[in-house]
């Protein structure tokens, strides 16, 4: 799977990035901006997406009144689609993946503030 887009809402200083698309051909991502613009927060939000909330996140985030939500879109190769189908044996999923070859996953919710046992949703 390859990360091809993300959207971050209510994470540290980030209100809403909108959908940010990454290059589909390069393996380089550049985050440029002034000091305190949120470049590190983007990296931390993507870490939050992958690993879930850390103790520091729980401690620091409680000071904010909004709950973060991170969406990540991944593109899949045909081989990955076949592997998913083999593991799940769900025809509808395979048909969708063959057509779109991309999946959005979400961690968190702007509507709730409980991240204990949080799961990534598809």
- Helices (runs of H) and strands (runs of E) counted in the chain: 4, 5
Give the pLDDT confidence score for residue 114 in this predicted structure. Answer: 58
Report pLDDT digits (tens) over 27-67: 788 889 899 888 999 999 998 888 887 777 766 665 567 78
What lies within 8 Å, CB to CB, of 14 at 6+ separation is 8, 38, 41, 42, 45
Distance from C-alpha of 40 to C-alpha of 53, rounded to nearest angstrom: 16
Identify the pLDDT of residue 24.
80
Q: Residue 60, class by beta-carbon neighbours within 10 Å (0-12 exposed, 13-18 middle, 19+ buried)?
A: exposed
What is the predicted pLDDT for the residue at 66? 75
pLDDT given for residue 1 in this prediction: 82
Q: Are strands 2-11 and 20-21 parallel, antiparallel or unpaired?
A: antiparallel
DSSP output for 3-36: EEEEEEEEETTEEE---EEPPSS-S-------TT
Residue 113 pLDDT exceeds 70? no
Distance CA 80, CA 1 (A): 7
Query: Considering the chain, what percentage of its residues have pLDDT values greater than 90?
Result: 18
pLDDT band per the 50, 70, 90 thresholds, residue 5: very high
From start to end of 1-117, where are the E strands?
A: 2-11, 14-16, 20-21, 69-75, 102-108
DSSP state, residue 60? H
């Amino acid at each position: 799977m390859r990360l091809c887009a993300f959207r971050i809402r209510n994470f540290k200083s980030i209100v809403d990035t909108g959908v940010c698309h990454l290059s589909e051909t390069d393996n380089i991502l550049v985050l440029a901006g002034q000091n305190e613009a949120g470049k590190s927060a983007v990296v931390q939000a993507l870490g939050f997406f992958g690993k879930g909330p850390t103790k520091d996140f729980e401690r620091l985030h409680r000071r904010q009144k909004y709950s973060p939500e991170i969406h990540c879109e991944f593109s899949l190769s045909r081989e990955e689609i076949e592997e998913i189908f083999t593991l799940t044996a769900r025809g509808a999923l395979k048909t969708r993946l063959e057509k779109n070859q991309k999946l959005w996953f979400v961690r968190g919710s702007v509507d709730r503030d409980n991240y204990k046992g949080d799961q990534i949703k598809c």
